[in-house]
Structures are given as structure tokens and as C-alpha cells.
Amino acid sequence: MAAEIREADAEQQQLLSELIERGMLVESGVPGVYGHSEAFGRVCDALERWLTAAGREAGAEVLRFPPLLPKVQLEKVGYLGNFPHLAGSVFSFEGDESQAAELAAHAAAHEDWSAALRQTDLTLVPAACYPVYPAIAARGPVPDEGVIIDVGPSWVFRHEPSFDPGRRQVFHMHELVHIGPSTTVLSWRNAWAERALALFIELGLNAWLAPASDPFFGRRGRMMAASQRAQELKLELLVSIAGPEPTACASFNHHLDHFSATFGLTLGADQPAHTACLGFGHERIVLALVRQHGYDLDAWPDQVRAILWPDEAR
Ligand code: AMP
Ligand code: ZN
């Protein structure tokens, strides 16, 4: 059975065709999975440099993780209860010769070959920050002032196929994570939201911040989303790219003690920690910039180029 594809409106589909025609995106045959041109990559790299420098300035420790997550970690944080529709799980073949032949025959005929597979210990990473919490918890208590981790631009997967170029199944999410005292984690999150808004405005984008919620699954999920929104646990940095709704290009999330309770993260001996994370979606930010300033990067306003490529002679 083919995956259900989310509707995209005419403007979003038009933008996708334009990006492909101009070579900025390279089609794979599956909606939401694209290659990039050099120009697209240049903007991603520039965003990357800016975020890495900002993280370093804020005293962040750099950690990098692969785009696969032990499935037990996804289970522990309750992801399958909250977002079963977005998760990607790794299944592999472990059968005998005749089963291998059957698998190959199904595959060669482009038929369903999932019956021959077994679940492995791995899932795809749905958000760059997920590997951080158990990794820091494994070190023991966190210093009293907390820690900031720069997880860099991880590839993340979400099963949401769409012909909206802003909605991918696999994309780069650069995250910074703060694990620290409940008194400072929220102000850290808020200060970063303001800082990111200022950056977007300097980049010439018509952006604004708004409380938001995650796409929790089902009826229970609607209640969780309403509570998340009411408590302003999630802020999104929005830009109109294409279509009737603005697009979230970055998010600023306060998790209270959700991850710290799950993984036993404490400050000092037994002070409870809170956590927050910032997630920047590179591909969406590139789309926002291209929509605002056009396809020719060399023709972008000097002020924008000076932020993205400060070392280039003008
Ligand atoms: P979230 O964890 O949902 O708040 O996502 C963090 C950031 O990742 C968002 O603000 C977007 O910039 C980006 N993002 C989320 N979902 C997608 C998607 N399907 N395609 C492209 N970028 C996404
Ligand atoms: Zn996160």
C-alpha cells in the first residue's frame, strides 16, 4: 500500500516544481525526499556556521550523533504514544536462503517485501535532541549551572510525505539543548527565541513568534496539544513561504521535567533538572530566504550576504 500523501495547495506545488526546474532540489521519486544543488547547500552551510558560532559563544559543548536511535530510547520518551504516525523504524532481513529468494522476488516485482523482515533495535531519529538526554544522564549528575549541548545539523526523519516543499520526510534539524535549573531553562529558551527572531529580521525575512503545539496523534493528542499551547511550552518562528498557513522555520521548546524524569537527569546530588531545546530547520529557512530574495544568491541584499558569508569579499 502506498503511503498517504498530505495535500499541498497549488502555490506549494508550484514552488516545488520551480525549485526542481531550477535545479535547487533534485527529485527522488518519493515526495519529501530531495537532493540539493550547490547553491542550496551553500545557504545550509552558512546557517550551520552561524548557529555553531552562536552555540560556541554560549558555552555549548559540541556532540554529534548518527541519524539512528536505539528503539528503547524512543519507547522510553513515549514517542510511539504521542507520534506513532511520524516514527520510522528500521526492519532488516535475518531469514534463510529460501526466505531470501522470496524477498528478492517480491522486491524485483516491486511487491510488498515487508513480511520477510524483522524489527531491529533501531529507529530513525525524529528530532536531533533525542540522543542527548540519555547521553548526558549516563555521565551522572549535571553541574549545578547546567549544560548546553550543540547537536549540530542532524538528519532527522518524519513520516509525513507531501508535495509541499516545506514538508519533508528527511531534513536537517540543528538543535541546541539546555539541561539546567528550572529557574533559568525557561529564560534561556525565551532569550533564544528573541535572538532567532532578530536574526531572521536581519536576514530580511518577515518573521514572527507564536505559541504552537506538536502534532500529537488522535483525540488524546488534541488535548495534549491544547495544554502545550496554553502553557506556551512551544514557540515557533514563523515565515509565510507558500500556502495558506505560515511555516515554522525554528522552534523553541520547554519540556519541564519530561526528559529529566525519564532519564534521571539531576543537578548536583538530587536537584531536579528541567530541559529545553531549540530546533532550526535548515531546509525551511533556505526556502524562506529564496522566496524573499530570489534564486540568485549573488543578488541577495548585501546585509543578508554579510551575515551568511562574512568572509566573502564584496
Ligand atoms: P519541531 O521539532 O517539530 O518543532 O521541528 C523543529 C524544526 O524542524 C521546525 O521548526 C522546522 O523548521 C523543521 N521541520 C519540522 N518538520 C519538518 C518537515 N516535515 N520538513 C522540513 N522541516 C521540518
Ligand atoms: Zn529538541
pLDDT in tens, 28-85: 999 999 999 999 999 999 999 999 999 999 999 999 999 999 999 999 999 999 999 9
Label residue 314 by pLDDT band (50, 70, 90): low
313 pLDDT more than 80: no
Is the minimum distance from the CB of 161 to ligand 1 under 6 angstroms? no
Label residue 233 by pLDDT band (50, 70, 90): very high
C-alpha–C-alpha distance, residues 171 and 169, integer Å: 7
C-alpha–C-alpha distance, residues 98 and 1, integer Å: 25
Label residue 312 by pLDDT band (50, 70, 90): confident
Ligand 1 centroid vs 105 CA: distance in angstroms?
A: 37
- Quick: pLDDT tens for 138-181: 999 999 999 999 999 999 999 999 999 999 999 999 999 999 99
Is the minimum distance from the CB of 131 to ligand 1 under 6 angstroms? no
C-alpha–C-alpha distance, residues 104 and 167, integer Å: 32
C-alpha–C-alpha distance, residues 160 and 217, integer Å: 13
- Residue 272 pLDDT: 87
- Angle (CA) 206-228-184 rounded to 5° is 80
Label residue 2 by pLDDT band (50, 70, 90): low
- Residue 268 pLDDT: 86
Nearest ligand 1 atom to the CA of 160 is: 19
- Average pLDDT on 101-123 reads 97
What's the mean pLDDT when you consider all of the chain? 96
Nearest ligand 1 atom to the CA of 173 is: 8
Helix (H) or strand (E) holding 74: helix 71-76
In this structure, the residue with its CA closest to atom 23 of ligand 1 is: 281
Ligand 2 centroid vs 115 CA: distance in angstroms?
A: 34
213 pLDDT more than 60: yes
C-alpha–C-alpha distance, residues 43 and 48, integer Å: 8
1 pLDDT more than 60: no
Percent over 70 (pLDDT), the chain: 98
- Edge-to-edge strands, sheet with 274-281: 61-62, 147-157, 170-180, 274-281, 247-254, 234-239, 207-211
Label residue 305 by pLDDT band (50, 70, 90): very high
Backbone dihedral region for residue 218 (phi beyond 0: left; psi -120 to 50: alpha; all else: beta): left
**Prediction pTM value:** 0.97
